[in-house]
Amino acid sequence: MKIFVNHTNHPSERWSAEQITAAKIYGEIVDVPFPAISADAVAEEVRELAQVNLEKILTFKPAAVLCQGEFNYTFAMVELLKNSGVIVVAATSERIAHAEILPDGSTRQISTFRFVQFREY
């Protein structure tokens, strides 16, 4: 069975029908949660965390992995996955924003993201 690993902070159960359909082209969706990464973590800690999660992800023998989140970790994970011969993608979306100036002068912004496609790294 082909597997599409979702390695993000966004569980696939909350995805739109369009995103689920696009992911299933690669295989059945398996969520491998993105780790919480401290802003105080040094580069070596981030790389080590990526290595640990790489081993988890590779147990699924994924056809592709969606990897998005904290930038340094994502960069490390994408490199590791690609060096392991795995297709790695990012989700692209259209952002629709509405800003409103409140009576106290502050701004409230509501953003809606509409999935468009997966784009390969």
Q: What is the pLDDT of residue 111?
A: 86
Q: Which two tokens stand for residue 98?
A: 């509405």
Looking at residue 33, the DSSP 8-state letter turns out to be P
Tell me which residues of the chain have a pLDDT lower than 50. Answer: none
CATH number at residue 76: 3.40.50
Q: What is the pLDDT of residue 113?
A: 87
Q: How far apart are CA 81 and CA 75, in angstroms?
A: 10
Q: What is the pLDDT of residue 27?
A: 98
Q: What is the pLDDT of residue 112?
A: 87
Q: What is the pLDDT of residue 37?
A: 96
Q: What is the pLDDT of residue 17?
A: 97
Domain span holding position 71: 3-120
Q: What is the pLDDT of residue 57?
A: 98
Based on the structure, what is the number of domains in the chain? 1
Dump strand ranges (E) for the chain: 3-7, 28-31, 64-67, 87-101, 107-120
